[in-house]
Structure 1
Amino acid sequence: MTSITLHKGDLPDGLSWPDAVAVDTETLGLSLVRDKLCVVQLSAGDGTAHVVQMDRSSYDCPNLKALFADSSIEKIFHFARFDVAMIKKYLGVTCRPVFCTKIASKLVRTYTDRHGLKDVSRELAGVDMSKAQQSSDWGAETLTDAQLAYAASDVLHLHKIRDELTRMLVREDRIELARACFDFLPTRADLDLAGWDEVDIFAHA
């Protein structure tokens, strides 16, 4: 049975995490320059989601920052490039190590061009996700039940998706390539934050 817990400002003391935590963020938009970090949601893969509504006046959240800085805990994202950059900008923490299910999907699900979380979840976790709240106001003072359910759905199944994608990556002998991509993600996020978000510095031109 799924449970969702809302926290104001930070994770509470005393929570324990396994060796991997699923993470997603909600923002006021998709601009790293313009839009603020509003919500961080997490799951240990146990059917429970913790939704942290950020204090945007200070981003004072020592427990959340400590979790992201803990190198013994893998952080599982879908499209980690954006989330890692947002966390770096607003919390001042570099997330390592990282597993990005979108990159993994692109590396191994080469039989499709559908790599969004909704499509990956349907195939690998057997879950049909609703994206109805994706464009809602995440800066609102009070989050609705629908927003909380949406936020939770983005992290509750990432452990299973990671496990399935890892199995496929190993089968296709692409796991080391995937890990190299994941290791580069904090640098990719730094490039985005520094203004090279639309420039391919590896291109000849």
Structure 2
Amino acid sequence: MAIHFHEGDLPGDPFAPGPIAVDTETMGLNPHRDRLCLVQISDGGGDEHLVRLSGDYSAPNLKRVLADPARLKLYHFARFDLAVIRQYLGVVAAPVYCTKTASRLIRTYTDRHGLKDLVRELLGAEISKQQQSSDWGAAVLSDAQKDYAASDVRFLHRMMPILNERLAREGRTELAQACFDFLPHRADLDLQGWPEIDIFAHV
């Protein structure tokens, strides 16, 4: 198990076949204003790859992996990651599986759907969120920042079958898939000016 740090792009495609877990770190929560600084990817085999981006978003290898329609992308809160990847890298990083969306559909007994809470309940593991609000645009990222970033993709593969089992148990598998399929469009709505407006609402 290792964390691999890359400047500007991936070194080809270092991942095994199958789903990849994806996360991003940015300078804030507004994709139009706050630049994309880091993309984290894992194939679930124990290694995490961190790609630091600082102005040059060409990254052809990274884009190829993210845009591959044959490779499922696992996210926790896909809506934001899809939007910021589309804004800065210009690709739709789909098809999508979102652990937060799945959690909201089946863990209706709680309002705690953050990654830390989900990992604790489903896997019995603890992750630190201490570096969540740190400066991701710094010239040098600390080891603590790198470990935090890697932890955001470290557990998604292990949680997916547990969430899928519960979705099936509650009869919500098809509903979840419809939500996952819509998420790239929800991200587009965010980017095009409807971040907080429910366009399906009566008023």
* TM-score normalized with structure 2 length: 0.98
Q: Which runs of 5+ in 1 are unaligned?
A: none
| Equivalent position SS for 1:76 | strand
User: Deviation of residue 162 (structure 1)?
Assistant: 1.3
| Equivalent position SS for 1:50 | strand
- Could you give the per-residue CA deviations for residues 6-28 of structure 1, whole angstroms, max 9, x where no partner exists? 00001102513321000100000
Partner of residue 98, structure 1: 96
Match for 1:187 among 185, 188, 193? 185
Distance 1:189 1:5, change over 3 A: same
Ranges of 4+ aligned residues in structure 1 off by more than 2 Å: none
- Structure 2 letter corresponding to 1:110: T
User: Deviation of residue 73 (structure 1)?
Assistant: 0.6
Aligned residues: 203
Distance in 2 (CA, whole Å) between partners of 1:162 and 1:87 is 22
Partner of residue 111, structure 1: 109
CA RMSD of aligned residues (A): 0.9
Alignment of 1:70-149 (within 5 A): 70-149=68-147
Partner of residue 44, structure 1: 43
Answer yes or no: is the 8 Å Cα contact 2:102–2:163 preserved in 1.
yes
Partner of residue 19, structure 1: 18
Q: Which runs of 5+ in 2 are unaligned?
A: none
Distance in 2 (CA, whole Å) between partners of 1:22 and 1:169 is 20
Answer yes or no: is the 8 Å Cα contact 2:13–2:61 preserved in 1.
no
* TM-score normalized with structure 1 length: 0.97
Partner of residue 60, structure 1: 58
Partner of residue 29, structure 2: 30
- Could you give the per-residue CA deviations for residues 73-122 of structure 1, whole angstroms, max 9, x where no partner exists? 10000000000000001000012110000000000111111100000000
| Equivalent position SS for 2:24 | strand
Distance in 2 (CA, whole Å) between partners of 1:110 and 1:62 is 40
Distance in 1 (CA, whole Å) between partners of 2:165 and 2:11 is 34
